[in-house]
Chain A
Amino acid sequence: MEVEEKISQLIKQFSALEDWTDRYALLIDMGKSLPLLPDAEKSEKLLIKGCQSRVWIKAELQDGKVFFKADSDAVITKGMAALLLHVFSGQSPQTILDTPVDFLDQIGLKEHLSPTRSNGLNDMIKQIKLYALAFNLQK
Chain B
Amino acid sequence: MPYENNTINRNIRTDFPLLEQTVHGRPLIYLDNAATTQKPKVVLDAMYRYYASLNSNIHRGVHSLSQQATTAHEAARETVRDFIHAAEAEEIVFTRGTTESINLLAQTFGTAFLPQGGTVLLSPMEHHSNLVPWQEAVSRKGGRLAYIPMTDGQYLDMQAAESLLAQKPALLTIAHVSNVLGRINPVKELIRMAHAHDVPVLVDGAQAVAHLPVDVQDLDCDFYCFSGHKMYAPMGIGVLYGKKSWLEKLPPYQFGGEMISEVRLYESDYNRLPFKFEAGTPAVAEAICLAEAIRYLQSIGFEAVQTHDRLLLDAATESLSALGGLDIYASDQPKCGVISFNIQGAHHYDVGVILDQMGIAVRTGHHCAQPLMGLLGISGTVRASFAIYNTLDEVEKLVEAVRKAKAMLL
Q: Which residues of A contact B354 (CB under 8 A)?
A: 24, 76
Pairwise interchain contact A119-B353, C-beta atoms closer than 8 A = yes
Cα distance, A57 to B379, chains bound together (Å): 20
Nearest 9 pairs of A and B residues by beta carbon = A74-B347, A74-B349, A53-B349, A52-B349, A76-B350, A52-B365, A74-B350, A20-B357, A76-B353
| Smallest Cβ-Cβ distance to A112: which chain B residue | B353
Cα distance, A53 to B349, chains bound together (Å): 7
Given contacts A24-B353, A74-B347, 11 further A-B contacts (CB under 8 A): A20-B24, A24-B357, A28-B408, A52-B364, A53-B350, A73-B347, A74-B350, A76-B353, A76-B354, A118-B365, A119-B353
Q: Which residues of A contact B346 (CB under 8 A)?
A: 75
B374 → A minimal CB distance (Å): 15
Cα distance, A75 to B354, chains bound together (Å): 12
Cα distance, A24 to B24, chains bound together (Å): 14
B214 → A minimal CB distance (Å): 32
A21 part of interface (Cβ distance < 8 Å) = yes
A37 part of interface (Cβ distance < 8 Å) = no
A92 part of interface (Cβ distance < 8 Å) = no
B403 → A minimal CB distance (Å): 13
B228 part of interface (Cβ distance < 8 Å) = no
Q: Which residues of B contact A118 (CB under 8 A)?
A: 349, 365
A1 → B minimal CB distance (Å): 29
Q: Which residues of B contact A75 (CB under 8 A)?
A: 346-347, 350, 409
Pairwise interchain contact A25-B408, C-beta atoms closer than 8 A = yes
B180 → A minimal CB distance (Å): 15
Interface centre among A28, A76, A77 (most CB of B within 10 A): A76
Q: Which residues of A contact B353 (CB under 8 A)?
A: 24, 76, 119
Cα distance, A21 to B408, chains bound together (Å): 8
B97 part of interface (Cβ distance < 8 Å) = no
Q: Which of B383-410 contact A (CB under 8 A)?
A: 404, 408-409
Cα distance, A118 to B363, chains bound together (Å): 12
Q: Which residues of B contact A54 (CB under 8 A)?
A: 379
Cα distance, A47 to B239, chains bound together (Å): 40
Q: Which residues of A contact B348 (CB under 8 A)?
A: 52
Which label, helix, strand, loop or mixed, suits the secondary structure of the B interface?
helix
Q: Which of B348-380 contact A (CB under 8 A)?
A: 348-350, 353-354, 357, 364-365, 379-380
Q: Which of A94-119 contact B (CB under 8 A)?
A: 118-119
Q: Which residues of B contact A53 (CB under 8 A)?
A: 347, 349-350
B363 → A minimal CB distance (Å): 10
Cα distance, A77 to B364, chains bound together (Å): 14
Cα distance, A118 to B346, chains bound together (Å): 17
Q: Which residues of B contact A73 (CB under 8 A)?
A: 347, 379
**CB<8 Å pairs between A and B, sample of 23:** A20-B24, A21-B404, A21-B408, A24-B353, A24-B408, A28-B408, A52-B349, A52-B365, A52-B380, A53-B347, A54-B379, A73-B347, A73-B379, A74-B349, A74-B350, A75-B346, A75-B347, A76-B349, A76-B350, A77-B347, A77-B349, A118-B349, A119-B349
Q: Which residues of A contact B364 (CB under 8 A)?
A: 52
| Smallest Cβ-Cβ distance to B354: which chain A residue | A24
Q: Which residues of B contact A52 (CB under 8 A)?
A: 348-349, 364-365, 380
| Smallest Cβ-Cβ distance to B357: which chain A residue | A20
| Smallest Cβ-Cβ distance to A21: which chain B residue | B408
Q: Of B357, B379, B404, B409, which contacts A28 at CB under 8 A?
A: B409
A53 → B minimal CB distance (Å): 4
Cα distance, A54 to B380, chains bound together (Å): 12
| Smallest Cβ-Cβ distance to A54: which chain B residue | B379
Cα distance, A13 to B365, chains bound together (Å): 31
Cα distance, A30 to B404, chains bound together (Å): 19
